[in-house]
Structure 1
């Protein structure tokens, strides 16, 4: 009996230690992501305050930063509390609220990234291309496009609380078929129409946005390659600084979009695995959360590394010098 008791104690200790480790990982990832997105958002707001205008790419990136913050807050915070054993904070309303914010943030993230890639493709297209008319009109539609994205995902995601039941994970579920385990709560589809609604309203737009991003990325690669062929016989000192800046910005956006598509695809695979696995393991659920929050956490630091105005603003007080006006890449 003593041996069995000791084995149980060791097992509980290992489980507690594992939960604590996972909680620290979630907490670290959430903290780093929130700080990074807050610094970037503050930077863009400062630019708008001083210059009274924002470049359209930066306006899109600002909304992408807000979307990333929503994803981190709605996934990182509840998962951190759950891993640290603080599940008593979750009620049915809290589950619905976190899931709603998560879906809105995820939708805004993919739509903002898609808008960024398409807008940059139109921007760098030559004036004699088929995009010449849209090239002039595109900046006028950026704000309206962002407004449509916010409206779409804000109101569309209000539909799902009507068809999906969210319950805290500590509640008894003996007589209920668990459809989706989220770590801190789970979802129960009350009607078969839910899957069809989800496919039409959420999955189809995400697929379309993904196709548009891939098309825009391919177009940007083609335009950059053609531009390089045109100037390869020209000495670097004769290349227009504006052209060089546009090329750097395009390359930065290409890397950003590629990173998003990679993490989003991997995250979608894990989310589908969790949704269609009976009693998914804790490892699978935790891995899904970590991957889902990876892009929102990494994104602001990548953008800051490509925007040279931000380091000068942040560290000018250390150097005790006035920051110069520098044009960033993004």
Structure 2
């Protein structure tokens, strides 16, 4: 068991370092753009929220779990445990909200004149960015029950009534309260997942119809435009697909933790690893396919006739 913990500690450490480097590189890109006086576009603002949410997820769950895998125990007090789990839940919520907003914004931006999305183009930037801002407040409120159910190590407590994470504990909830809490935190997540799927399917249909129209047009500018549209859309679709896949696996792992009595530490490590996959992978997905971060998305906005964000 010790060898398995050490192995998972190495994996978690590597994932955390890679995730911090990727997100820090992307964040430094935005700071450089701000220092140069560049005007922030909607995609810039949404992705900055996503980067902050990624940092929260990695810092509040991946780092502590890595320390547990390497042998540290109970290094947080009661307040520290409450804040770590609370901020992780906020970061997770903002991450799903930002990814959802990014997919909807791109679907609106590439829509054609007769599309149902086209009528939202003029208002998309203002309202979608405002929605991401609002999501911080929503998830700060929704995550408050985590403060009640999470506690630090207390030697005088009856340990059989606590669920251990190696560094913090969660109290067993009343069944009715547990169902209510799960429903409360699941509604925003399910809504965002549904909107992501809808936007992704719409993007595929929009891009397919656009390619059908452009099939017989041989102009180089149109071909370049179609290529940029395809690459930018594929990046966002990959981002959404990665989020949905890792989110689903994370839910399965957390269900296993909740139904298994006294789960092994390795299962805890694997669950946190799955939860950290998207925060670690997403910056590299956004940087893929070009030499500078997200330049495919940003290059499209510099072309006056191109309708991507």
Q: TM-score, normalised by structure 1?
A: 0.83
Match of 2:145 in 1: 159
Q: Which has the higher contact order (CA 8 A, sep 6+)?
A: 2
Query: What is the CA-CA distance between 1:307 and the residue it aligns to?
Result: 4.8
- Computing the radius of gyration over CA atoms, which structure comes out larger, 1 or 2? 1
Query: Partner residue of 2:242?
Result: 259
**Among 157, 161, 184, the residue aligned to 1:201:** 184
8 A Cα contact 2:47 2:98, kept in partner: yes
Inter-partner Cα distance in structure 2 for 1:286 and 1:259:
20
Q: Which aligned runs of 4 or more in structure 1 are off by greater than 6 angstroms?
A: none
Whole-angstrom CA distance in 2 between matches of 1:328 and 1:229 = 20
- Which residue matches 1:36? 22
Paired residue for 1:219, among 184, 202, 214? 202
Q: 1:34–1:244: structure 2 CA closer, same or farther, 3 Å change rule?
A: same
The CA RMSD measured in Å over matched residues stands at 2.4
**Matches of 1:132 and 1:308 in 2, distance apart?**
31
Of 65-74 and 50-59, the range deviating more from structure 2: 50-59
Q: Which residue of 2 aligns with 1:291?
A: 274
Number of residues of Structure 1 aligned to a counterpart in Structure 2: 300
Matches within 5 A, 1:1-330: 15-162=1-148, 164-168=149-153, 171=155, 174=158, 176-178=160-162, 180-235=163-218, 237-239=220-222, 241-310=224-293, 327=299
Q: 1:268 to 1:153 in 2, by over 3 A?
A: same
Structure 1 residue 283 displacement after superposition = 2.1
What are the Cα deviations for residues 88-112 of structure 1, in whole angstroms up to 9, with x where unaligned? 4122222111111110111111111
CA shift in 2, pair 1:67/1:184, >3 Å: same
Unaligned runs of 5+ residues in structure 1 are: 1-14, 313-325
In structure 2, do the counterparts of structure 1 residues 175 and 129 end up closer, same or farther at CA, with 3 Å as the change threshold?
closer
Deviations 1:134-160 (A, max 9, x none): 111111113311111111112221233
Q: After TM superposition, give the deviation of residue 34 of structure 1 in Å.
A: 0.9
Unaligned runs of 5+ in 2: 302-308
TM-score by length of 2: 0.88
SS in 2 for 1:309: coil
Aligned partners of 1:68 and 1:297 also within 8 Å:
yes
